[in-house]
Amino acid sequence: MRSIVRDMYFKIFVQKRKSLGLSQVSLATLARISLPTLQNIEAGKANPSWDVVTKLSKALKIKITLESEEIDWALIGSLGVPMMSEKPIKRQFSEAAESELKRVYFEIFKLNKKIQERELETLIAYAMALRDHEPTYFKTFKKFVSETELNKKIKQMNFGRLIKLRRIALAQMQIRNDK
């Protein structure tokens, strides 16, 4: 199945190449990629590596930026993360919610993404609850948040508030587990 977004980006490469008056041969040489690779990319038949895309974008003087998607707090709240919400959040486990939570932990702990302190506290409290009461499940988050990283964040925060939020998270987990 072809990606519409991918095809759109490759069409930009073709348009830019043509506007610069470059042939496929000259662009492939300039970008230091093979001609068949470039031809397959332009035909929408390739799934190039990030290295190839950056080589092409540099040769064409195209700036590519990656931005993280907005965090879906309602989806994360459905797992039992103690979130403040204007609307009641239906508490239920889903793979989509778990995936979103892992993405957020990765961004916070590995990419040092800045989020509001209150939201960070709720995520840390939830991680504490998982670590203490569902250690087997917490291990599935290990590549996203390590014990050391979690403890470092805990030391930087208001411990009393974290404990209170952890209790709320535990209560939400109990509700989820009772269903």
Q: Judging by beta carbons within 10 Å of its beta carbon (0-12, 13-18, 19+), is residue 63 exposed, middle or buried?
A: exposed
In this prediction, residue 2 carries a pLDDT of 47
Its pTM stands at 0.53
| Residues contacting 9, CB < 8 A, separation 6+ | none
Q: How far is the C-alpha of 106 from the C-alpha of 4, rounded, in Å? A: 27
Q: Where are the domains of the chain?
A: 4-60, 73-178
Question: Average pLDDT for consecutive 10-residue bins of the chain (179 residues)?
Answer: 59 88 95 94 85 91 78 72 56 68 79 80 85 79 79 86 87 64
Architecture of domain 4-60: Orthogonal Bundle (1.10)
In this prediction, residue 1 carries a pLDDT of 36
Question: Given 3-state DSSP classes, what are the helix, strand and coil percentages for the chain, each rounded to the nearest 5?
Answer: 65, 0, 35
Q: How far is the C-alpha of 74 from the C-alpha of 80, rounded, in Å? A: 10
In this prediction, residue 32 carries a pLDDT of 96
Reference 68, options 99, 113, 109; nearest CA is 113
Is residue 150 within 8 Å of residue 127, measured between CB atoms?
yes
What are the distances in angstroms from CA 41 to CA 15, 45, 68, 103, 140?
A: 13, 6, 25, 29, 36
